[in-house]
Structures are given as C-alpha cells and as structure tokens.
Amino acid sequence: MTETTPGWLAPEELELTRARMPILYVDAVPVRVDEGGEVTRIGLLLRIGPDGTVSRTLVSGRVLHHERVRDALMRHLEKDLGPVALPRVPASLQPFTVAEYFPTPGITPYHDPRQHAVSLAYIVPVAGDCRPRQDALDLVWFTPQEAASPQLQQEMPGGQGVLLKHALAHVGYAP
C-alpha cells in the first residue's frame, strides 16, 4: 500500500532515494528542567528494533519534503511522546550538533545500515504528561548522572549513545 500523505514516499521510492542521497532527520533529547532551567531528567524511549532487540533511543525521524524543521521536530515529539507532552521547542532552531549517519560503520560514530542520513540534534524541554506511542514501548526518565553511564549509552544503537553524551556536555553536565 502506498502512503498518500504529501511528502511521504512509497517504500520502493524511499529505498531508491536512500541508496542515492542523504536524507534529512531530526533527533530530539527530551528533558525535564527545574525553575532555573537546569536539566534534571533525560527521557529515553524503549523500542524493539527490526531484528527483535530491545534498545533505548532518542526521539528521531525524517523531515518530509516541504516540511519545516520545527514542524518535523514537533511531529516526531508528539508521535513518540504523545499529544500532551507539551514540548518547548527553542525559538532559535540552532541544533546542539549535526550527526551524520553512514551505512558503512566507522566513518563517524553514527551508523544507520539503511542509509546516509544527516540529523539535526536538539535538546527539547517537555513539561506535560508523556505517554509513548507508535513503536515506543516505554519512556524512562534518567538523571543526568544515570544518562552519562557508559553502560546505558551502550544500550543505544547506531551511535545515539554518543549523541546523548554530546547533549549532556551541551547542557553543562560533564561526568
């Protein structure tokens, strides 16, 4: 069945496109902050991968054709965290880093066997009630100290543990 939503490609079209050019993505690290803006918790999704393995991941997804980055970020946050997560996307959409995923391991710390993808990575405070949806099994909140654990970061596929480490450094947490 071909998806009829504007901006979506049929599976065979997406596969062909992925084989020929980089695809733009957004990654989001959901956080809880205190009154002073200090990060107190980091939210990580629990998912089952295509191979049946359970892993922790960030909110992540493609930017559609003719979709603003801000809108893509909001769409993926709502898709993964639920409609009442109340994300506060920054007024300035300056990512904390750009992660370049390659199908060939070892070029960068980021690996996606399906494609070459370029992802703009954001830290997004959420204030509402988060209820994982779609393919997310659960959302677990960790303290910055727990999130900095090498063991926890190793549970994240494709280099997302490295991305989480960069996010923690960006908010001033250096273990």
* Residue 62 tokens, joined: 């493609």
Beta bridge partners of 126: 87
Number of domains present in the structure of the chain: 1
Residue 45 dihedral angles phi and psi, to the nearest 5°: -80, 150
Residue 7 lies in a domain: no
Residue 1 lies in a domain: no
- Percent of residues, the chain, with pLDDT higher than 70: 95
| E strands present in the chain | 23-33, 39-48, 54-57, 59-62, 97-101, 117-125, 136-142
* C-beta separation of 117 from 159 below 8 A: no
Confidence label for 55 from pLDDT (cuts 50, 70 and 90): very high
CATH number at residue 139: 3.90.79.10
What does the alpha-carbon distance between residue 151 and residue 86 come to, in Å, rounded to a whole number?
30
- Taking only the tens place, the pLDDT of each residue in 121-148 is 999 999 999 999 877 889 999 999 999 9
Amino acid at 6: P
Q: What is the pTM of this model?
A: 0.88
Beta bridge partners of 31: 42, 125
pLDDT of 48 reads: 87
- Cα–Cα distance list, 52 to 80, 112, 150, 152 (Å): 19, 16, 23, 19
Residue 130 lies in a domain: yes
Containing structural domain, residue 162? 25-170
Q: What is the mean pLDDT of residues 45-58?
A: 89
Residue 6 lies in a domain: no
